[in-house]
Amino acid sequence: MERSDLLENLHVLQFLDSRGEGPTTDEQSIYRAIGVEPVINCRGTFTIIGGSVERPEVLAAIKEASRHFVQYDELAEGVGRRLAEITGAEWGMIPAGCAAGLKHVTAACVTGGNPEKLIRIPDLTGMDKTQVIIPRYARNAYDHAVRNIGVEIVMVETAEELRHAINAKTAMIYLVSGRGSEKGQPLSLEAIVEIAKPAGVPVLIDAAAENLTIPCIHLERGADVVAYSGGKAICGPQGAGLLLGNKKLLMSAWQASSPHHGPNRDNKVGREDIMGMLAAVEAWVTRDHDAEWQTWLARLDSISQRVLQVEGVKTEIEQPSGLSNHAPVLVISWDPAVLHRRGEQVAEDFARNKPRIAVGSSDTEGRASLRVTPSQMQPGNEEVVAERIYQALMDARTLQPTQLAAAAVDISGHWDLTVEYFTSTSEHHLYLQQEGNWIEGMHQGDFSSQEIAGMVEGDQVKLHSHVRLPGDNIHFLFAGQVSDERMSGSIHLGEYLTARFSAKRSTYQTARKPFMIPGGPPLAT
CATH number assigned to the domain comprising residue 215: 3.40.640.10
Note whether 294 and 256 are same-domain residues. no
**Do 349 and 417 belong to one domain?**
no
Same domain, residue pair 330 and 252: no
CA 452 from centre of chain: 24
Judge if 324 and 436 occupy the same domain: no
Helices (H), 126-208: 144-147, 159-165, 189-196
The tally of CA atoms less than 13 A away on the side-chain side of residue 140 is 16
Q: List all residues 6 or more positions away from 71 whose beta carbon is below 8 Å from its beta carbon.
A: none
294 shares a domain with 247: no
Round to whole Å and give the CA distance between 236 and 261. Answer: 26
Amino acid found at 490:
S
Cα distance between residue 419 and residue 413, in whole Å: 19
Find all residues with CB under 8 Å of 429, minimum gap 6, and list them: 414, 415, 416, 417, 443, 444, 506
Residue at 43 is within a domain:
no
Q: How far apart are CA 117 and CA 450, in angstroms?
A: 40
| 268 & 153 share domain | yes
- Domain assignment of residue 460, yes or no: yes
Using omega within 30 degrees of 0 as the cis cutoff, is the peptide bond preceding 521 cis?
A: no
Contact 109, 129 (CB under 8 A): yes
Rounded CA separation 208/222 (Å): 18
CA atoms of 156 and 314, how far apart (whole Å): 43
The domain spanning residue 486 has which CATH number? 2.40.128.120
Q: Domain check: are 134 and 194 in the same one? A: yes
Answer yes or no: is 457 within a domain.
Answer: yes
CATH number at residue 321: 3.90.1150.10
pLDDT at site 436 = 96
Q: What is the pLDDT of residue 6?
A: 55
**Which residue, of 250, 284, 318, is where some domain finishes?**
284
**Total residue count of the chain as it appears in this document:** 525
Q: Is residue 74 part of a domain?
A: yes
Per-residue pLDDT tens, the chain, 525 aa: give them. Answer: 455 565 565 555 554 455 455 444 455 589 999 999 999 999 999 999 999 999 999 999 999 999 999 999 999 999 999 999 999 999 999 999 999 999 999 999 999 999 999 999 999 999 999 999 999 999 999 999 999 999 999 999 999 999 999 999 999 999 999 889 999 999 999 999 999 999 999 999 999 999 999 999 999 999 999 999 999 999 999 999 999 999 999 999 999 999 999 999 999 999 999 999 999 999 999 999 999 999 999 999 999 999 999 999 999 999 888 888 899 999 999 999 999 999 999 999 999 999 999 999 999 989 999 999 999 999 999 999 999 999 999 998 887 777 889 999 999 999 999 999 999 999 999 999 999 999 999 999 999 999 999 999 999 999 999 999 998 999 999 999 999 889 999 999 999 999 999 999 998 777 788 988 998 998 887
Q: Are residues 71 and 208 in the same domain?
A: yes
442 and 347, same structural domain?
Answer: no
Q: What are the φ/ψ torsions at residue 294 (nearest 5 degrees)? A: -65, -35
Domain that holds residue 11: 1-38
Structural domain ending residue among the three candidates 238, 257, 284: 284
**Distance of alpha carbon 467 from alpha carbon 195, whole angstroms:** 34
Beta bridge partners of 503: 417, 487
CA gap 235, 61 in Å, rounded: 13
Report the run of H or E that residue 364 belongs to, with start and end.
strand 360-364
Q: Which of 483, 481, 501 is nearest to 491 (CA)?
A: 501
Instruction: Evaluate whether residue 514 is within a structural domain.
Output: no
Same domain for 235 and 310, yes or no, is: no
Q: Are 63 and 134 in the same domain?
A: yes
Domain total in the chain: 4
Instruction: In whole angstroms, give the CA distance from residue 331 to residue 56.
Output: 30
Question: For residue 14, is it within any domain?
Answer: yes
What's the chain's Rg over C-alpha atoms? 27
Its pTM stands at 0.90
Residue 513 within any structural domain of the chain: no
Give residue 231's pLDDT. 94
Is residue 269, in this structure, part of any structural domain at all? yes
Examine the domain organization and report whether 269 and 317 are in the same domain. Answer: no
